[in-house]
């Protein structure tokens, strides 16, 4: 496969006019760089997903099980009975089109089947044809379709071109949430072994080893020790965190991506420095070493199985509550699913900050606090000494993650932190932030490398808004509270807005945090010289 | 979670609203309107002269339009004579032409207007004829 | 095709009523039997739909939050867009149902030279939607005068407000004009906007034509080819009092009007029009964002196979010990 090499200016030539043929008569075309490799049989086998096999989307024959139609239709029937959202969203769409130009994949590709309404119609047409009287009688007139291999291929292509960001659901007059529909579509496809390699791999790794990257316990420890060396270089302070320690007050869970790749690692350093400075009685876990949940992109059951480790580990270690790191979909799963799946977490206490005494009543049942809530509370109570000027070389804007904004409402906390650790902050245009924020373009397991065109197209609206503040205010850093953002926005910035870096909010906190007994800092968290300090030394 | 209670309340409200007209009229006698044509002025006329300015069917459906045209004609154009379909001439006047015969507003006009729940604004300006309470 | 088939379907319905009444003398069928059947199907159909939705649980708490959450006491929660209590959910729902809050957010995305994406305000759909639904509701309420002996005061008030412009005789109802205008707009955007045309199904055009037909026949009866409404009311009163009568001399246009309405009623529960009931049940809007505070129960939550800590430790015990990570079993 040729490497993706399209130039940004060519990719941005987007036609929004639909093709001449009706969408029902336009078969799916698998375009290179727009879809992912399929899952490896052994990964599916590890977690017990059925029908693992070697196949590729480009093949004519997908080696489907003989009774695949029956499996899918029975699966649809079951899911309709389990989820009111699914049943309702199949019935009530009026196709007003308000969602159409709200999807980052549609904006970036112009492909009409990326309009949320049509994405849902892919499933709805089959629903009508098989589960409604009108559809059975009136067929095409009622918008009904048979379930064919062609339809299935469409599902695979387009349900893996949705990041479940829920932006469309903000604008829908009935709150129809394409994330729900994509989740059902993906769950159905998982019943016949149609999964992505980039999802199947992390899921299997997370199941067996506790995290998506498959980091084994000693590797987790050594990764963190590597950060500790950098922190010592930076501050002269030696930090000794604990792992799997029983009796700690707080269990800290964060996405494993932050232990592995830049710039997430700098965020992890920020956590370590903050907790050390506070003298927090906390522990890392190598077993519950994943906050994120790629199982969520396969089936509800798989998501629950992966998620179960967090409460199980909290119980085993006997902690009072759990603190969660910066992540997007992790927090949708935690705040809207975890307690329901694996609760009640009655073996813990209502979270209470040991530093400020603040009781987090908003998390009194699920017992888990977002680090942005925790840190904002610290700053409000003047518990941190901060030197904002250490971030003066940064001109910051903030990217709201889809899930923390539309599945939680964590909007002001990170902004409060940023405004207290940075002097230069500029918001992106109103229609691209907060509940109207744009996805990075690579969520829900689409952050592979073989689908780079899709990612760059999906990331276009976000990047375009960054470009606006970059050109207008000289913004050079895109802050966020999401591990996938940190990994994927770097690529999309390099592509669309070169010159803008990406960082987690707690990297900025780490930069600004004045630690007891630290030496004078001449470098930032990335061990790059702080411009002004460098200047003063040169005098 | 099913929220069965809330759904049932919702359905009850829906059922109540959708069937409201049926319940609203329960036990109420449905009286057909019966406009009376037995005023002394009409009774005085010979049977074959008991005719309105236009035929009965036309008047039933179009009287409002006719009156409206009369008003416009008198007020705006100062044309006061109406020539009907038979060539007969009438003074365009609600009070002096119409109500001279139909002096029984309550038993004539109101009978249907009330039945249909319409409130024509004729009497915002015109003075309704005095009627003896019967 | 997508527009022509539904268009001719409505034309055929009109002809059917005309032929039935004028040639077949089927006044009783079109004036009594079909309306009764339609209302029955409507009520039973809606209940069936809602019960069907209700039988599927809401397994997870999935509100779409559109504002600041409730967290720290000094951060102002956006209670309307991100409610955490039932009362505020009701407020959010009321705004949604009565004023189409979400549609009000609508923006138009455009790609310009640069490349530069812009997001312009786009309230046309919201305005037309609001005009359409409110007009329809007011017209429906106004029609209560055909179904009640002694019409209650609120109906009079609505009627006089609706006709306060005092144009023509009988007075022009503002909602009649608004409804026709809005339906025309909604149809026009479906036909003229390429992306909306592309997503439209025959099932999207049919109700528009049907409602257009209903409105036009109603407007014709009121303003142009007048019918003997005293007789019409005798018929409608007969229906609601279960003593059906077919008064003589009602023009056939009335039967067309009534038949189209009957079709709309019967069609309603089995089409996208059920969004009327569905909007109340949408879990992304009607749930409080309190899933961290109160545990949401999933009735079909079942135990799953998990990779336990013990199994994990068995896999990695030696490596853990070597790295100085505490273990359960030495």
C327 by Cβ neighbours in 10 Å (0-12 / 13-18 / 19+) ranks as middle
Q: What angle do CA A415, A419, A421 make, to 5 degrees?
A: 115
Residue C272 is classified by DSSP as G
Q: Which of A16, A287, A316 sits opposite C195 (nearest CB)?
A: A16
Q: Which of A456, A459, A452, A495 is nearest to A33 (CA)?
A: A452
Chain B environment of C156 (Cβ under 8 Å): 117, 119
C92 closest CA partner among C79, C75, C80, C82: C80
Residue with tokens 């003997």: C228
CB A157 within 8 A of CB A28: yes
CB-based contacts of A357: which residues, under 8 Å, 6+ apart? none
Rg (CA), chain C: 28
State the smallest CA–CA distance between residue A331 and chain C in angstroms.
Answer: 11
Q: Tokens 């009796």 label which residue? A: A247
Determine the pLDDT at residue A532.
Answer: 66
Q: How many CB atoms lie within 10 A of CB A5?
A: 9
Same domain, C56 and C158: yes
B46 touches chain C (CB under 8 A): no
- Å between C226 CA and nearest CA of chain B: 6
pLDDT of residue A538: 44
CA C37 to chain centre: 22
By CB atoms closer than 10 A (0-12, 13-18, 19+), residue A122 is: buried
> Residue A510's Cα: distance from chain center in Å?
23
- Determine whether the interchain pair A305/C75 forms a contact, defined as Cβ–Cβ distance below 8 Å: no
| Interface membership of C82 toward A (CB under 8 Å) | yes
pLDDT one digit per residue (tens) for chain A, 539 residues? 688 999 999 999 999 999 999 999 999 999 999 999 999 999 999 999 999 999 999 999 999 999 999 999 999 999 999 999 999 999 999 999 999 999 999 999 999 999 999 999 999 999 999 999 889 998 888 899 999 999 999 999 999 999 999 999 999 999 999 999 999 999 999 999 999 999 999 999 999 999 999 999 999 999 999 999 999 999 999 999 999 999 999 999 999 999 988 899 999 999 999 999 999 999 999 999 999 999 999 999 999 999 999 999 999 999 999 999 999 999 999 999 999 999 999 999 999 999 999 999 999 999 999 999 999 999 999 999 999 999 999 999 999 999 999 999 999 999 999 999 999 999 999 999 999 999 999 999 999 999 999 999 999 999 999 999 999 999 999 999 999 999 999 999 999 999 999 999 999 999 999 999 999 999 999 999 988 654 444 43
Closest CA to A227 of A214, A248, A245, A241: A241
Rounded to the nearest angstrom, the minimum Cα separation between A10 and chain C is 10
Q: How far is CA A141 from CA A22, B93, B133, C273, in A?
A: 13, 59, 64, 16
Is C312 found in the same domain as C165?
A: no
At C286 the pLDDT is 96
**Chain C residues touching A458 at Cβ < 8 A:** none
| Closest Cβ opposite residue C195 in set A100, A304, A363 | A100
Q: Are residues C155 and C236 in the same domain?
A: yes
Q: Best residue in C90, C147, C230, C290 to probe B by mutation, most B CBs within 10 Å?
A: C230
Residue of C nearest to B56 (CA): C228
Q: Give DSSP secondary structure letters for A374-393.
A: HHHHHHHTT-S-B-GGGGTT
**Nearest residue of B to residue C159 by CA position?**
B118
Neighbours of B68 (CB within 10 A): 16
How many interface pairs between B and C have CB atoms less than 8 angstroms apart?
A: 95
ipTM attached to this prediction: 0.95
Report the distance separating Cα C72 and Cα C80, nearest Å. 17
Contacts of B64 in chain C (CB under 8 A): 169-170
Burial of residue C162 (CB within 10 Å: 0-12, 13-18, 19+) is buried
Closest alpha carbon within chain C to B2: C57
Q: For the range C112-117, what are the long-range contacts, defined as Cβ-Cβ under 8 Å and sequence gap of 24 or more?
A: C115/A9, C115/A12, C115/A460, C115/A464, C116/A464, C116/A468, C117/A107, C117/A460, C117/A461, C117/A464, C117/A465
Q: A270 and A248 in contact (C-beta within 8 Å)?
A: no
- Please, is A498 exposed, middle or buried when counting C-beta atoms within 10 Å of its C-beta (0-12, 13-18, 19+)? exposed
- Both C186 and C308 in one domain: the answer is no
Instruction: Report helix, strand and coil shares of chain A as percent, to nearest 5.
Output: 50, 5, 40
| Chain C: closest CA distance from residue A375 (Å) | 11
Tokens 């009335």 belong to C254
> Under an 8 A CB cutoff, do B28 and C241 touch?
yes
Count other Cβ atoms within 10 Å, centred on residue C158: 18
Contact C54, B7 (CB under 8 A): yes
* pLDDT value at residue C321: 96
Q: Is C260:C220 a contact under the CB 8 Å cutoff? A: no
Q: State which residue of chain A sits closest to C53, comparing Cα positions.
A: A84
Q: Which residues of B touch C170 (CB under 8 A)?
A: 64, 118
**Of C156, C168, C243, which is closest to B117 when you measure between CB atoms?**
C156
The C-alpha atoms of residue A472 and residue A475 are separated, in whole angstroms, by 8
Name the nearest CA neighbour of A119 among A180, A59, A66, A175: A180
* Residue contact C50–B11, C-beta within 8 A: yes
Chain A residues touching C67 at Cβ < 8 A: 409, 411, 434-435
Supply the DSSP symbol for A432.
G
Q: Is the pLDDT of residue C186 over 50?
A: yes
Which H/E stretch holds residue B3? none
CB pair distance less than 8 Å for A112 and C195 = yes
Query: Over the stretch C136-169, which tens digit does the pLDDT of each residue have?
Result: 999 999 999 999 887 888 888 898 899 888 887 7
User: Which C positions 115-134 lie with beta carbon below 8 A of chain A?
Assistant: 115-117, 119, 125, 129
Task: Report the residue of A22, A47, A94 to disrupt the C interface, i.e. the one with the largest count of C CBs within 10 Å.
Answer: A94
Among C208, C217, C218, which residue's Cα sits nearest to residue C183?
C208
Task: List the single residue in A with minimal CA-CA distance to C274.
Answer: A92
Q: Which residues contact A167 (CB under 8 A, 6 or more apart)?
A: A102, A103, A104, A402, A406, A436, A437, A438, A439
Residue window 93-122, chain B: list those with CB within 8 Å of chain C: 112, 115-119, 121
| CB pair distance less than 8 Å for A112 and C107 | no
Indicate if C208 and C329 belong to the same structural domain. Answer: no
Q: Which of B4, B21, B119 sits opposite C144 (nearest CB)?
A: B21
Q: C18: distance to nearest CA of chain B, Å?
A: 21
> By C-alpha distance, which of A363, A294, A377, A371 is closest to A333?
A294
CA distance C245 to chain A (A): 34
Contact status, residue A396 vs residue A422, Cβ threshold 8 Å: yes
Shortest distance, CA A117 to any CA of chain C (angstroms):
8
Q: Which of A149, A144, A88, A152 is nearest to A121 (CA)?
A: A144
Tell me which residues of chain C, numbers 163 to 192, contact chain A at a CB-CB cutoff of 8 Å.
none
Of C197, C271, C293, Cβ closest to residue A362: C293
Provide the b/e sequence for C233-265 (b: ≥16 CB within 10 Å).
bbbbbbbbbeebbebeebbbbbbbbbbbbbbbb
Query: Do the bridges between strand C107-112 and strand C116-121 make them parallel or antiparallel, or are there none, so unpaired?
Result: antiparallel
The domain total for chain C is 2
User: Among partner residues C46, C226, C240, which is closest to B25 by beta-carbon distance?
Assistant: C240
Query: Is residue A266 within 8 Å of residue A507, measured between CB atoms?
Result: yes
- The answer to whether C202 contacts chain A (CB < 8 Å) is yes
Q: Which of A201, C281, A182, A102 is nearest to B8 (CA)?
A: C281
Angle at B10 between CA B6 and CA B15, to 5 degrees: 145
Using omega within 30 degrees of 0 as the cis cutoff, is the peptide bond preceding A344 cis? yes
Which of B22, A306, A110 has the alpha carbon at shortest distance from C242?
B22
pLDDT for the residue C55 = 96
Where helices occur in A53-175 by DSSP H, the ranges are 68-82, 84-91, 104-109, 116-131, 133-138, 149-159, 167-171
Evaluate whether A172 touches A98 at the Cβ level (below 8 Å): yes
Is residue C129 domain-shared with residue C229, that is, in the same domain? yes
The chains in contact with chain C, meaning 3 or more Cβ pairs closer than 8 Å, are A, B
- Domain housing C324: 304-330
Test the C interface: residue of B27, B30, B114, B125 with most C CBs within 10 Å = B30
Structure tokens belonging to residue A374: 């925790």
Look at C238 and B116 and tell me if their CB atoms are within 8 Å.
Answer: no
Exposed/middle/buried for residue C308 (C-beta within 10 Å: 0-12, 13-18, 19+): middle
Q: Is C329 on the interface with A (CB under 8 A)?
A: no
Answer whether B16 touches C (CB < 8 Å).
Answer: no
Binning pLDDT at 50, 70 and 90, where does residue C21 land? very high
User: How far is A502 from A525, CA to CA, in rounded Å?
Assistant: 13
Output the pLDDT for position B120: 86
Nearest CB to C199: which of A91, A117, A308?
Answer: A117
Q: What is the DSSP letter of A354?
A: T
Instruction: List the domain boundaries for chain B.
Output: 30-125
What are the φ/ψ torsions at residue A252 (nearest 5 degrees)?
-105, 125
Report CA-CA distances (Å) from A54 to A48, A64, A72, A189, A197: 16, 11, 20, 15, 11
Chain A contact for C298 (CB, 8 A cutoff): yes
Mutate which: A134, A336, A429, A458, vs C, most C CBs within 10 A? A336
Select from A273, A275, A288 the least CA-distant residue to A507: A273
In angstroms, the CA C294 to CA C289 distance is: 10
Using a CB cutoff of 8 Å and minimum separation of 24, what contacts does C1-7 make?
C1/C202, C2/C200, C2/C201, C2/C202, C2/C205, C3/C191, C3/C202, C3/C205, C5/A141, C5/C202, C6/C202, C6/C203, C6/C205, C6/C206, C6/C208, C6/C209, C7/C205, C7/C209
Answer whether C57 sits within 8 Å of B2, measured CB to CB. Answer: yes
Residue with tokens 């309009």, as numbered in its chain: A115
Written in H, E and C, the secondary structure of A250-315 is EEEECCHHHHCCCCHHHHHHHHHHHHHHHCCCEEECCCCCCCCCHHHHCCHHHHHHHHHHHHHHHH
| Reported confidence tier of residue B118, pLDDT bands at 50, 70, 90 | confident
Q: Which chains touch A (3 or more CB pairs under 8 A)?
A: C
Hey, how many other C-beta atoms are within 10 angstroms of the C-beta on C113?
6
Which of B33, B61, B117 shows the shortest C-beta gap to C226?
B61
Per-residue tokens: A275: 């907790």
The answer to whether C106 faces chain A, any CB pair under 8 Å, is yes
Distance CA A196, CA A295 (A): 12
Burial (CB count <10 Å: 0-12, 13-18, 19+), residue A124: buried
Chains in contact with chain B (at least 3 beta-carbon pairs closer than 8 A): C
CA distance linking residue A506 with residue A426, whole number of Å? 18
Chain A residues with CB under 8 Å of C306 CB are: 305, 308-309, 312
Token couple for C167: 């144009």
Whole-number pLDDT of residue B134: 46
Which chain A residues are within 8 Å of C300, Cβ to Cβ? 82
């Amino acid at each position: 496969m040729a490497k993706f090499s399209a130039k940004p200016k060519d990719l941005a030539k987007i036609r929004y006019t639909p093709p001449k043929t009706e969408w029902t008569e336009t078969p799916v075309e698998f375009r290179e760089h727009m879809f992912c490799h399929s899952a490896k049989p052994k990964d599916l086998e590890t977690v017990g997903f059925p029908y693992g096999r070697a196949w590729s989307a480009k093949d004519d024959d997908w080696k489907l099980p003989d009774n695949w139609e029956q499996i899918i239709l029975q699966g649809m029937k079951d899911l309709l009975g389990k989820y009111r959202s699914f049943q309702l969203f199949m019935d009530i769409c009026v196709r007003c089109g308000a969602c159409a130009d709200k999807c980052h994949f549609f904006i970036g590709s112009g492909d009409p089947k990326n309009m949320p309404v049509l994405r849902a119609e892919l499933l709805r047409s089959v629903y009508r044809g098989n589960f409604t009287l009108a559809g059975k009688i009136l067929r095409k007139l009622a918008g009904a379709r048979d379930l064919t291999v062609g339809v299935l291929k469409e599902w695979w292509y387009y349900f893996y071109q949705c990041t479940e960001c829920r932006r469309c659901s903000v604008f829908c007059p009935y709150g129809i949430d394409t994330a729900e529909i994509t989740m059902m579509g993906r769950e159905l496809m998982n019943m016949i072994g149609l999964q992505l390699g980039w999802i199947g791999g992390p899921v299997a790794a997370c199941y067996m080893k506790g995290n998506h990257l498959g980091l084994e316990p000693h590797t987790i420890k050594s990764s963190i020790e590597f950060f500790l060396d950098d922190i010592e270089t930076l501050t002269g302070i030696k930090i000794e965190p604990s792992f799997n320690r029983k009796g700690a007050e707080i269990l800290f869970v964060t996405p494993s991506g932050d232990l592995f790749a830049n710039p997430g690692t700098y965020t992890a350093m920020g956590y370590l420095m903050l907790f050390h400075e506070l003298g927090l009685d906390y522990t890392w876990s190598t077993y519950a070493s994943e906050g994120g949940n790629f199982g969520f992109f396969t089936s509800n059951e798989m998501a629950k199985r992966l998620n179960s480790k967090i409460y199980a580990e909290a119980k085993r270690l006997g902690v009072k509550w759990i603190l969660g790191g910066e992540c997007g979909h992790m927090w949708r799963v935690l705040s809207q699913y975890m307690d329901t799946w694996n609760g009640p977490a009655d073996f813990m206490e209502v979270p209470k900050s040991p530093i400020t005494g603040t009781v987090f009543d908003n998390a009194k049942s699920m017992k888990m606090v977002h680090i942005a809530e925790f840190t904002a509370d610290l700053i409000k109570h003047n518990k941190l000494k901060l030197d904002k000027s250490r971030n003066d070389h940064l001109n910051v804007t903030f990217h709201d993650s889809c899930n923390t904004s539309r599945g939680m409402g964590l909007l002001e906390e990170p902004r409060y932190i940023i405004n207290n650790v940075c002097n230069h902050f500029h918001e992106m245009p109103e229609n691209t932030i907060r509940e109207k924020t744009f996805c990075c373009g690579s969520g829900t397991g689409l952050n592979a490398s073989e689908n780079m065109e899709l990612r760059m197209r999906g990331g276009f609206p976000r990047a375009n808004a960054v470009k606006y503040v970059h050109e207008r205010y000289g913004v050079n850093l895109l802050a966020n509270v999401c591990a996938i953002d940190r990994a994927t926005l770097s690529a999309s910035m390099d592509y669309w807005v070169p010159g803008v870096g990406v960082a987690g909010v707690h990297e900025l906190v780490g930069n600004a945090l004045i630690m007891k007994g630290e030496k004078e800092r001449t470098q930032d968290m990335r061990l790059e010289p702080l411009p002004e300090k460098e200047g003063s030394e040169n005098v | 979670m099913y929220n069965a209670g809330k759904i049932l309340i919702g359905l009850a409200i829906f059922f109540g609203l959708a069937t409201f007209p049926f319940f609203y009229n329960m036990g109420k006698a449905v009286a057909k309107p019966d406009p009376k044509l037995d005023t002394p002025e009409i009774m005085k006329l010979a049977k074959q002269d008991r005719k309105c300015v236009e035929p009965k069917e036309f008047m039933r459906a179009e009287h409002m339009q006719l009156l409206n045209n009369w008003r416009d004609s008198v007020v705006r154009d100062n044309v006061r004579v109406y020539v009907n379909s038979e060539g007969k001439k009438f003074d365009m006047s609600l009070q002096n032409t119409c109500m001279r015969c139909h002096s029984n507003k309550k038993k004539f006009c109101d009978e249907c207007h009330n039945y249909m729940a319409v409130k024509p604004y004729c009497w915002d300006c015109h003075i309704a004829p005095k009627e003896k309470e019967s | 095709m997508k527009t022509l088939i539904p268009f001719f379907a409505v034309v055929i319905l009109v002809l059917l009523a005309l032929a039935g009444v004028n040639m077949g003398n089927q006044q009783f069928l079109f004036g009594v039997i079909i309306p009764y059947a339609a209302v029955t199907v409507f009520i039973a159909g809606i209940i069936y739909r809602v019960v069907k939705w209700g039988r599927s649980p809401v397994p997870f708490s999935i509100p779409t939050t559109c504002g600041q959450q409730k967290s720290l006491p000094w951060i102002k929660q956006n209670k309307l867009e991100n409610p955490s209590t039932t009362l505020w959910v009701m407020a959010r729902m009321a705004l949604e149902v009565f004023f189409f809050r979400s549609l009000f957010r609508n923006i138009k995305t455009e790609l310009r030279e640069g490349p530069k994406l812009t997001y312009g305000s786009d309230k046309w759909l919201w305005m037309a939607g609001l005009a359409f639904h409110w007009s329809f509701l007011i017209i429906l309420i106004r029609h209560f005068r055909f179904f009640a002996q002694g019409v209650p005061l609120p109906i009079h008030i609505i009627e006089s407000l609706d006709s306060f412009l005092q144009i023509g005789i009988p007075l022009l109802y503002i909602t009649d004009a608004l409804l026709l205008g809005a339906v025309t707009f909604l149809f026009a955007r479906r036909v003229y906007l390429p992306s909306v045309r592309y997503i439209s199904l025959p099932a999207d055009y049919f109700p528009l034509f049907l409602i257009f037909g209903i409105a036009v026949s109603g407007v014709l009866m009121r303003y142009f080819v007048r019918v003997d409404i005293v007789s019409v009311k005798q018929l409608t009163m007969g229906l609601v009092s279960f003593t059906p009568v077919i008064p003589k001399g009602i023009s056939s246009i009335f039967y067309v009007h009534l038949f189209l309405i009957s079709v709309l009623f019967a069609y309603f529960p089995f089409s996208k029009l059920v969004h009327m009931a569905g909007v109340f049940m949408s879990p992304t809007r009607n749930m409080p964002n309190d899933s961290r505070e109160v545990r949401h129960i999933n009735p079909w939550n079942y135990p799953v196979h998990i990779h336990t800590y013990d199994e994990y430790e068995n896999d990695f015990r030696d490596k853990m010990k070597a790295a100085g990570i505490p273990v359960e079993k030495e």
